[in-house]
Amino acid sequence: MTPKITGLRVRAAVVPRPRPLIFHTAKFTRSPLLLLDLETDAGVTGCAYLFCYHDEAVAPLVSMTRNMEPLLKGMELAPLAINHKIWSSFRYLGMQGIAAMVLSVIDMAAWDALAKSAGLPLARLLGGAVKPLATYDSTGLGGPESVAREARELADAGFGTIKIKLGYASIDDDLAVIRAIGAEVPGMKLMVDYNMRLSNVEAAVRMAALEPEGLLWIEEPLDSGDLDGHAILARDFRTPIQMGENWWNVQDMARAVKAQATDCVMLDIGRIGGVTGWLQCAALAEAHGLPLSSHFFPEISAQMMCVTPTAHWLEFLEWASPILTEPVSATKGVLVPSSKPGSGAEWDEAAVARYEIAI
């Protein structure tokens, strides 16, 4: 008999980060998280979390997720049907922002519960095999000395590839960071992320200057909605353009692909519609021959990369490790996903109690 949903338990926690991550607009020294337990009448509980980015976003995300319980209570544990029902209920609100994140976390929890009920890791439930994945870690801003020091720490931890934030005051400042890393860790491979900071003219200037650096990709130099601008950059420069972490659904990806705005794609499972949305996008990536990488959520993203035909790079960023019973880890730049039933997220309840906040 198929399990049925009996309730949603939604909590919030603020968890310390192992390393600060500095963006242009924020410095993340801790992770504001939403924790979801999707409970069933079979005694199986699906677990998933969201990284909420800002403290101010936690309360509305928690509230909207809790409000989904009457809609879902009594439904069979059928993730595709659950996803469709939530999507339909949000149709007039629009499937982006908080609505998309709520859909995503419930979808992830539903798939986790289904995999646990089948006694399989999520990758195997979806028809794949658990296998080693090429992994990189990410650094923030901070200037040449700080970023080079962090690159050395990551190299000592076994990473041969890292992603760095750029978008300093000038291209000379950007190049100084790249050169400092090269001097500190010769041979370190780099991706760079501008986090949508540049104008169209400045993006062209900086990409031209970065061409000789052999970067694996340049991520979102322009606003994520500027598909025409990204298409021009993708056409005019050899260094691949990377987009996707700010897509809310497969329709967003389809528009970017049609515009030829990106050479490779990156999915954030906490935004794209969870496991269901990822599978839709992975099929589209395969159809167009686009390498697909992950953004955040290394535990469940690792499971998904195992069933992604064009799997490229797994991003290793530890947002929730302090509250997980078995956090994933990377060795020499390779991560092997959990082979236990589910998606890889299981709470250390003692740690959750230590970091939980009342909402």
Does 233 lie in the same domain as 96?
no
CATH code for the domain of 134: 3.20.20.120
For residues 270 and 104, the answer to whether their CB atoms sit within 8 Å is yes
CATH code for the domain of 52: 3.30.390.10
Does 176 lie in the same domain as 83?
no
Does 128 lie in the same domain as 24?
no
For residues 332 and 326, the answer to whether their CB atoms sit within 8 Å is no
pLDDT tens-digit map of 102-161: 999 999 999 999 999 999 999 999 999 999 999 999 998 999 999 999 999 999 999 999
Does 283 lie in the same domain as 222?
yes
CA distance 355 to 359: 13
**Whole-prediction pTM value?**
0.96
Q: Is the four-CA dihedral 210, 214, 136, 342 of positive or negative sign?
A: positive
> Which range marks the domain in which residue 176 is found?
124-335
pLDDT tens-digit map of 281-322: 999 999 999 999 999 999 999 999 999 999 999 999 889 999
| 240-261 CB burial, b ≥16 within 10 A, e <16 | bbbbbbbbbbbebbeebbeebb
pLDDT at 2 over 80: yes
**Residue 158: Cβ within 10 Å count:** 14
70: amino acid identity, one letter = P
- 138 within a domain of the structure (yes/no): yes
Does 289 lie in the same domain as 276?
yes
CA distance 276 to 38: 16
pLDDT tens-digit map of 193-243: 999 999 999 999 999 999 999 999 999 999 999 999 999 999 999 999 999
Picking from 322, 320, 284, the residue whose alpha carbon sits closest to that of residue 300 is 320
Does 30 lie in the same domain as 132?
no
Number of compact structural domains in the chain: 2
**Catalytic residue numbers?**
165, 295
Does 318 lie in the same domain as 236?
yes
pLDDT tens-digit map of 92-116: 888 899 999 999 999 999 999 999 9
Does 301 lie in the same domain as 203?
yes
What confidence tier does 74 reach under pLDDT thresholds 50, 70, 90?
very high
- 233 within a domain of the structure (yes/no): yes
CA distance 253 to 264: 11
pLDDT tens-digit map of 46-58: 999 999 999 999 9
Q: What is the DSSP string of 28-46?
A: EEEEEEEEEEEEETTS-EE
